[in-house]
Structure 1
């Protein structure tokens, strides 16, 4: 068996009396794409923050490449992990005050200390990979459409050739055609890099396209996991209700 690149083991997280994660067990193997689905408030974002080291679990452990991120010299290990990961944020999270090329090469300029001329060249090459021309390199995010901003965010996520990429609701706010184009780019670029990916979404067309496997989180636990092509016939009533968007079932609509 291949050692998982990322593994969450028995992760719990609470905020006061509210228990958000109740023993999450999940992992992703090298070169595989895992999509985690679930409704609002089920713990998807908190789980992602625990995996990234932005939040410390109350109980349980997070492993990257077999190393615990919650014991020992955690700051160094988390820094090493982040240097080997990329992230596409839900809202793009581009820096409005910086031109596109500086957004794409931000980590290389500020962490890797790359020369500005080299960083701009790399940024333009990376933009081409997400079907954007060099003519937008000197534009600012406010001058781009939502779909173009999302592509710039993807370019930033892959610019350092990471081993692991996180996607936080990658198609939120996009029309179906643009969303499908973003999904195609995510699949293409993660396969080209040979990277593992972890995505959280409630967009089922996106989940089916970008995932090798799909897992569902409900009430802070993973309640089902399987190959992406089996999600429509999972045999799990919670998954079935969510996937097909039914108001009636074991999951009560949020009011």
Structure 2
């Protein structure tokens, strides 16, 4: 059996009396696409931040490529992050940088790649997400929301990472553009052979990009299974969520 690239073991995270994560166990293997679904406030974003090392868990372990990185800092943490790509929910592009500078940000600022070489690699990566060289010199404000999301995707894959996190990758996009982004994610991830962890509440996105789906509810993973089974899981909470019903064990956050 392939060793997971990322493994969360019994992860707890509390903020005072607010227990956000309650013994979360989760793993993803190289080349596997795992989608974590769950409503607002279920703990998805906190789980992602713990996995990335942006937050230290209250309890439990984070293992990356078999090594315990729960409390690691400095070079150990940096070497881990060098193997990880991230697509943020808002895109998180730098307004003051051109498209190619956004895509090449890590290469220039962390990897010490010459600007001319970084620009060449950025333009080649933009091509992979169906954006031409004519876009490279524009600023984020000069392109559409869908194009901004593709630029963010290009930035997340330019260093050919082993693990990519996608945070609500289709938020704010119309259904057609969202579907195109999902297609690009599947295509690029398969091309890299990377493991991916996506958090989303967009079920059409989850069905398209996932090998497996896990549901986080009240800080716990309550179900995990193949994406093909998510519509008939036999689990009341999962069924209510994936079919978008107000009635059921999950109370709407009003």
Q: TM-score normalised by the shorter chain: which range applies?
A: over 0.9
- Output the CA distance in 2 between the equivalents of 1:232 and 1:194: 27
Q: TM-score if structure 2 supplies the norm length?
A: 0.99
- Output the CA distance in 1 between the equivalents of 2:219 and 2:172: 25
Deviation at 1:74? 3.7
Equivalent residue runs for 1:1-255 within 5 Å: 1-71=1-71, 73-255=72-254
Q: TM-score if structure 1 supplies the norm length?
A: 0.98
Deviation at 1:77? 2.3
Deviation at 1:251? 0.3
Q: Is the partner of 1:178 in helix, strand or coil?
A: helix
Runs of 4+, deviation exceeding 3 Å: none
- Output the CA distance in 1 between the equivalents of 2:80 and 2:246: 40
CA deviation profile, 1:168-204 (whole Å, cap 9, x unmatched): 0000000000000000000000000000000000000
Q: Which structure 2 segments of 5+ residues have no match?
A: none
CA deviation profile, 1:18-58 (whole Å, cap 9, x unmatched): 11001100000111000000000000000000000000000
Deviation at 1:76? 2.7
Q: Is the partner of 1:63 in helix, strand or coil?
A: strand
CA deviation profile, 1:184-228 (whole Å, cap 9, x unmatched): 000000000000000000000000000000000000000000000
Deviation at 1:129? 0.1
Pairs aligned (count): 254
- Output the CA distance in 1 between the equivalents of 2:238 and 2:123: 41
